[in-house]
Structure 1
């Protein structure tokens, strides 16, 4: 778990018309998520490490699923910064269960039910349950009630219990309170209890499956998560009518997510590997059939091509957005020291002078820093910042195209001895 939540100024836990949302993202991209929350939902939020917190009217909670830069979403049930842990592990577990039991669950459950379109019964009907018990003693619970699991995330040294023990204790109390079925897989609802040194809060997941790969029908070995791809495109500040190229697109996450952001720009993906280009095409053509909420063909296309020898005329591309090779699972960092400058200089010919820009993600920061002196005629570094991607610490670089026209280097001519 990350640092404690700062809920000062948020009213979602006390205002009947609002709910407080926690949305997670890759560390480093929090400002991008905050910007999307403001643009899409018209909500002001607060950045925490790896997540963003914001209030939203309960009738608009379902719209949080339209966010393209977040991984998971929760609605908060209750929170305290003044939790005192007793001495023994048994007492601590009872205190956590008591805390969850005494919370007001009604509003958060209604939000969950609406967002996930659950059509069953949330609250047990004692009379119906009594009749059900008499007719079938082995089946005391209603069939249409949700199944759930409880998860626990904790940090700090003052916990004398294990996360699994907290899950059992709190989950058991929730089961007694609502009568829901306990199910570890294929459940309807996930209840999460987060424990810090003196902070405890309970939340309900609005995304039982991570949004990592929601637009991909085929995954490759090095597929970039669509939520990261959407974040990179948001950083590019793409304008309507612009042409955006990912010259190393792999499975096509960047052009696909870019097109689904409805920027009015056209997105192209290039991939040198034939299987990768085929996978990209499959993902692009399959998005409207697998995801029925997408009612229009996105503005995108892909091709098989070499980033070092691009097949486009000069100045026809406005923006480059790409995930450069890390040199870990594919290639090597020694290869990158040659590939990076060659690629950037080759792309300089395609990108419009003065107004063009490039957003690059890489874990091989050493190779990129060594590239600067070889590309500074055509590319000016605007800024860079660190990100954490699945435990890998990478950097995102934002370059602006200089006004210099691209001049290809004259080929070396070997002198022939007479």
Structure 2
């Protein structure tokens, strides 16, 4: 645990800001407060706190954060004018007031560069360049791309029928036109054949002379056409603009490459994020003369604009930390950051046995084996592809650090484990969207909860379940209410899906096979009613 920073000087610590999955802010806040012994400010989707400069690298050990930044300067109550050029000029001037030394010192604790990076140029430029307008923001909108009003189901049905009628009418018109053209062509051919037959003998000599004249005229016309086409090609080559030369920037090997990313939130800004990033990046280039690279960069400058608040940061992560410990991703792979936060909710103690009965790609057991190495972790799944991915991820982690974890093939409703042998059961239940189905969940959830109640310890056992199918899990909890009590619920946004984490505690009720079978039969009857009710509902709608 780090020492308090109350007596430290200002240049001995820095402000850290980290992004968090929406819903887990308080969980990550508690984790940061325990590890750094500092107050943490939690907002929606992010946390902020100050740490000593020597502990910057330890921030990356927080298992619940996705991306991490060091805040160099904050500017409050920035009055953005209504004119975009004035706003861009204002953003360019901010470069002078940024505490680059503090940010680069924190950046150097994690990354390295083969030459020293100066926090201030030798000669501070008087002008940081003229502001420019965003071409994308001022580009005229295409009327066809404008958002159309949302139509109801009946209106969409009527629109499809109208479009089908119009298409059918257009096809009939086209067929009629083709038929008329064929008839006209046949009539003309018949008339021409008759006239040629009548005048064949009379005009034989005239046709011979005319054919010679036509041949001579065709030769002369072809010659003129070739000459005109040659003149046209020459004229086009002369008038064609010169080909654009590839942009070449002199790269200074003694200076790092950088890029600027802008995150803008709020209304009333007369500019977009691309324009702000372009102008601020141009000012940074004129200030430091660093190399510019959008992909192969050493330093990423983050410009955050939220209403009238502006902050300038340096990124301390090149990619999101949710990918750590995972190399084989499945269709429903759980993020490592989500797995860590779920394990934090379980309040794990040393020596406890953690079981993931539906491990999928192994995100949860891998995270528990690495971050809670004093606990015992076991996992399993019934799908062979999931087992292969878990083993591949275990081998990947074992290359960098020792890990004690194995995976077993089993059925979650019939686990090969002794009664009251586990302390914590934690898993990511199938949502029924990408894997499984909502209807199967009505059978799976009660059976899984009943089997988890059997293998967990009475009164001390816990379960942590993640799912998006709230209706089904609530019904399963009501069926197994004798064995499980819900102590905590955490709402979570997972790619636009409103998921929820349920933290359950085992009651003092001993597991009884007969009572459990009766509860399970009740749940199965309810599932059958659901299956039998769905066709009836469909017939009614039809």
The verdict on a shared fold, with TM-score over 0.5 as the criterion, is yes
Listed one character per residue, the Cα deviations across residues 155-186 of structure 1 (whole Å, up to 9, x for unaligned) are: 12221111111110001111111121111113
CA contact (8 A) 2:15 2:48 kept: yes
Matched, 1:311 2:409: no
Question: What is the CA deviation profile of residues 169-215 of structure 1, one whole-angstrom value per residue up to 9, with x for unaligned ones?
Answer: 00111111112111111322211111122111111110011101111
Equivalent residue for 1:345?
450
Pick closer, same or farther for the CA change 1:67–1:403 going to 2, 3 Å: same
Match of 1:88 in 2: 83
Give the secondary-structure state (helix, strand or coil) at the position aligned to 2:96: helix
Q: 1:26, 1:224 → 2: CA distance?
A: 12
Describe the SS at the equivalent of 1:167: helix
The answer on 1:28 being equivalent to 2:23 is: yes
Measured after TM superposition, the shift of residue 269 of structure 1 is 1.4
Residue 170 (structure 2) aligns with = none
Equivalent residue pairs, number: 387
Number of the residue aligned with 1:330: 435
* SS of equivalent residue, structure 2 residue 501: strand
1:44 aligns with 39
Task: Give how far 1:333 is off.
Answer: 1.6
The aligned runs of 1:87-236 (5 Å cut-off) are: 87-123=82-118, 140-236=250-346
Post-superposition Cα deviations, 1:38-95, rounded to whole Å, max 9, x if no partner, equal: 2222332111111111000111111111111110000001112210101211111111
Deviation at 1:104, TM superposition (A): 1.9
Q: Which residue of 2 aligns with 1:321?
A: 426
Q: Is the 8 A contact 1:239 1:263 kept in 2?
A: no
| Structure 1 segments (4+ residues) deviating >4 Å | 124-127, 138-141
Q: Does 1:61 align with 2:56?
A: yes
1:263, distance to aligned residue in structure 2 (A): 4.8
For 2:416 and 2:358, the matched residues in 1 are separated by 14
Deviation at 1:300, TM superposition (A): 2.4
Cα distance in 2 between the residues matched to 1:119 and 1:324: 48
Q: TM-score, normalised by structure 1?
A: 0.88
Greater strand fraction, Structure 1 or Structure 2: 1
Which residue of the partner structure matches residue 356 of structure 1?
461
Is the contact made by 1:265 and 1:299 (CA closer than 8 Å) also made in structure 2?
A: no
Q: Is contact 2:252-2:291 (8 Å) kept? A: no
1:77-135 CA-to-partner distances (Å, cap 9, x unmatched) read 111221010121111111112113321211111110221233433238769xxxxxxxx
Is the CA contact (8 Å cut-off) linking 2:351 and 2:376 kept in structure 1? yes
Deviation track 1:123-153 (CA, whole Å, cap 9, x = no partner) reads: 38769xxxxxxxxxx8754214221111111
Q: 1:185 to 1:139 in 2, by over 3 A?
A: closer
Where structure 2 has 5 or more consecutive residues not aligned to the other structure, the ranges are 124-247, 522-542
Contact in 1 for aligned 2:397/2:403 (Cα 8 Å): no
Alignment of 1:224-373 (within 5 A): 224-289=334-399, 292=400, 294=401, 297-373=402-478
Return the alpha-carbon distance in structure 1 between the equivalents of residues 48 and 494 of structure 2. 21
Q: Point out where structure 1 has 5 or more consecutive residues left out of the alignment.
A: 1-9, 128-137, 413-418
- Quote the Cα distance in structure 2 between the aligned partners of 1:122 and 1:236: 44
Q: Would you say the 8 A contact 2:24–2:490 is kept in 1? A: no
Q: Counterpart in 1 of 2:525?
A: none
Q: Distance in 2 between matches of 1:23 and 1:165?
A: 25
8 Å contact kept, 1:100–1:202: no
8 Å contact 2:92–2:279 — kept in the other structure? yes
**1:386 aligns to what?**
491
| Contact 1:101 1:173 (C-alpha < 8 Å) held by counterparts | no
Alignment partner of 1:212: what SS?
helix
TM-score after normalising by structure 2: 0.68
- Name the CA distance, whole Å, in 2 between partners of 1:79 and 1:316: 53
More helix by share: 2
Match of 1:79 in 2: 74
Structure 1 residue 301 displacement after superposition? 2.1
Structure label with greater radius of gyration: 2
